[in-house]
Amino acid sequence: MAGHARTFILMAAMTALLMGLGWLLGGQGGAIVALVVAGAGNLWAWWNSDKAVLRQQGAVELTGAQGGELVALVAELARNANLPMPRVYLLPTEQPNAFATGRNPQNAAVAVTQGLLRILTRDELAGVIAHELAHIRNRDTLTMTVTATMAGAIAMLGNMALFSGGARDRGGALGGILAVILAPLAASLVQMAISRTREYEADRAGAAICGQPLALARALAKIAAAAGRTVNVPAERNPASAAMFIINPLGALRMDRMFSTHPPTQDRIDRLAALARA
């Protein structure tokens, strides 16, 4: 409940930032237009983001005959989570990683890489899949789609504010400069904070779904160690998709915590170990 409350507060802050920029550009009408435009963008993303990211990553859908044990494992864990069976995809990259996508549990997909299947045991793989199913059950894919769209809208409005006469009238020249610099930065920080919160929640719920918190902890340690040594080319070409993966797939893994889309892996492992003890 605390994680959901924090997500709500952060999304409310991003909405306020969006409307504030709209007001700076066009007064009360501008604030309303900014909210409507962001809503339209969210509606488009709600229907199309899953297809886009799967296409970007070169995902190949697996049937029961092709997927064998992997598809059977996903089906078993989906029953544990009381979810419909998601579509299962294989990503043709040697970097061990995974993500979930889809606008709701009835239209969801779980994607894992070739490298993930190569290095994890069955129990560890179950932990990763359970984590992704937790994202689906919590509708985190929708949450992240909404925040990504709003962050993009804020960045666009910030650029417009720099050259807007209305922005200068309401906020002065300094206000316009601060809008173009600070508003997109603040939106990115909020987006990253939401992503980190949802990862902690998915770890906790995923451990309950698979029943083995330490298996998920071992999987995270293995993935984090290998991800930094293997380039995920599709993810590097589309860095906006990084927040979807269970571990940051990009090469620049050693970044400041404030600017990371994922919590520190050791923090996640420590929380899972505490959950196992409890």
pLDDT tens-digit map of 120-165: 999 999 999 999 999 999 988 777 777 776 777 777 766 666 655 5
What residues act catalytically?
Answer: 132
Q: Does an H or E element contain 62, and which?
A: strand 60-62
Find the angle CA(197)-CA(202)-CA(204) to the nearest 5 degrees: 100
> Residue written as tokens 């380039």?
231
Q: Give the pair of three-digit tokens for residue 61.
A: 């859908």
Residue 254's pLDDT band, with cuts at 50, 70 and 90, is very low
What is the predicted pLDDT for the residue at 165? 55
The pLDDT of residue 147 is: 72
Query: What local confidence, expressed as pLDDT, does residue 239 receive?
Result: 75
- Mean per-residue pLDDT, 68-78: 95
In this prediction, residue 256 carries a pLDDT of 47
Which residue did the predictor score with more confidence, 6 or 69? 69
pLDDT of residue 86: 96
Most confident of 95-104, 153-162, 206-215: 206-215
- Please give the residue that has the higher pLDDT: either 208 or 197: 208
In this prediction, residues 179-183 reach a mean pLDDT of 68
Query: CA–CA separation, 138 vs 154, rounded Å?
Result: 25
Answer positive or negative: Cα dihedral of 263, 109, 82, 215: negative
Mean pLDDT of 49-60: 84
Which residue has better confidence, 172 or 93?
A: 93
Question: Which residues are within 8 A (CB) of 177 and not within 5 positions of it... i.e. 6 or more apart?
Answer: 162
249 to each of 29, 94, 138, 232, how far by Cα in Å? 41, 11, 22, 6
Give the Å distances, CA to CA, from 113 to 96, 128, 202. 6, 12, 19
The per-residue pLDDT for range 228-241, each reduced to its tens digit, is: 788 888 888 877 67
pLDDT category at 5 given cuts 50, 70, 90 is low
In what helix (H) or strand (E) does residue 98 lie, and over which residues does it extend? strand 98-102
> Average pLDDT, stretch 75-98?
96
pTM of the model: 0.79
Domain that holds residue 47: 2-277
* Least-confidence region, from 12-16, 145-149, 173-177: 173-177
Number of structural domains found in the chain = 1
What pLDDT, on a 0 to 100 scale, did the predictor assign at position 253? 46
Most confident option among 26-30, 242-246, 273-277: 273-277
Higher pLDDT: 257 or 211? It is 211
Is residue 188 classed exposed, middle or buried when 0-12, 13-18 and 19+ CB atoms within 10 A define those classes? middle
Measure the CA–CA gap between 111 and 246, rounded to whole angstroms: 11
